[in-house]
Amino acid sequence: MSKPLLLIDTDPGVDDALAILMAHEHARVSALTIAAGNVGLAHTVRNARTLVDLLGADTLVYPGCQTPLVRMPEEDAVHVHGTDGLGDVGFSEPKAVVADEHAAQAILRITREQPDLTLVALGPLTNLALAVRLDPTLPQRVKRLVIMGGAVTGLGNTGKIPAEFNIGFDPEAAHVVFEAFPMFDLVDWEVVLRHAFNDGEFNAWLAAGDQRATFFEKVFGTARAFNAKRGRRGVIAADALAMAVAIDPSMVTRVEERHVAVELDGRLTRGATVVDWTARLGQPANARIVMAVDQDRFGAMVRAALGA
């Protein structure tokens, strides 16, 4: 398999970190464009640079929007990822440079220069929404868009029960993107829960891996403890699953094509992804909802990215 070319919009984030390790192992990474989300933009930009340093890569890091498009977020994910977004390990100031171009403009420029790339969205969709508003032809010149976001039957992970974090953080941005792209791959929170790794197996990868595994073991503590406290089983890696689908779509074993819209107003449901499961509204499908992937192939991809 030739290595795909990826442009990654991300809010690192512990599971974003694992996804970025995977991308640099299994794909060519055009750039990292950075969103606010799990933690504030200053932290997410710095975390991306820490990862670039760890990898010894020359991937450019483009800072994006500091806030959602319209309303201020109701919550962040400090309680999951730590105050700094990478488990509060206390890494020193990274050396990787911050590019002098806004993420939304970088997305537009890079997709013009490299028309064959896959866009991978691992955070709130603010930068992508801004980019598509600046240039509505963006969807025509990307090969695929893979989004980690949503909860397709309402099993969300935020204070608004049916909303998943990335969509719930900036529902208006998600609405813009879902309407603008004629088709995208959606890796939602529910498929993520169905593809958790066995704890023992994952621990063995960490123990047998290289400096990437050592790094990940350090940053993973807070998120792991949070998930265990919530009664979630196994190692849950949302952005890693989306990244696996972006790198190798042939590992998807079941998909449902449906129309998906974003709730913007609901008192209890703002940020929910509403799926027209029975095609009652007569709108064309805009999402390939990933329902299942080959777990062994997903595991092999993560394992290799940890050097194990």
Positions in the binding site for ligand BDR (CB under 6 A): 13, 15-16, 38, 77, 80, 122-123, 148, 157, 164-166, 189, 238-239
Q: Tally Cβ neighbours within 10 Å of residue 121.
A: 29
Residues that bind Ca ion (CB under 5 A): 11, 13, 16, 122-123, 239
User: Residue 16 or residue 248: which is nearer to Ca ion going by CB?
Assistant: 16
- Comparison of 48 and 80: residue with beta carbon closer to ligand BDR: 80
Least distance (Å) from ligand BDR to the CB of residue 12?
8
AA identity, residue 280? R
Task: Output 210-213 pairs: Cβ under 8 A, ≥24 positions apart.
Answer: 210/306, 210/307, 210/308, 211/54, 211/307, 212/21, 212/54, 212/55, 212/305, 212/306, 212/307, 213/306, 213/307, 213/308
Q: How near is the Cβ of 135 to ligand BDR at its closest, in Å?
A: 25
Q: Under a CB-based contact definition with an 8 Å cutoff, are residues 139 and 180 in contact?
A: yes
CB closer to ligand BDR out of 78 and 114: 78
Q: Which is nearer to ligand BDR, 61 or 279 (CB)?
A: 61
Write down the least CB distance from residue 240 to Ca ion, Å: 10
Which listed option, ligand BDR, Ca ion, none, makes contact with residue 152 (CB within 5 to 8 Å by class)? none
Specify the DSSP element, H or E, that contains 225: helix 211-229
Which helix (H) or strand (E) segment is 187 a member of? strand 184-187
Closest approach of Ca ion to the CB of residue 154, in Å: 20
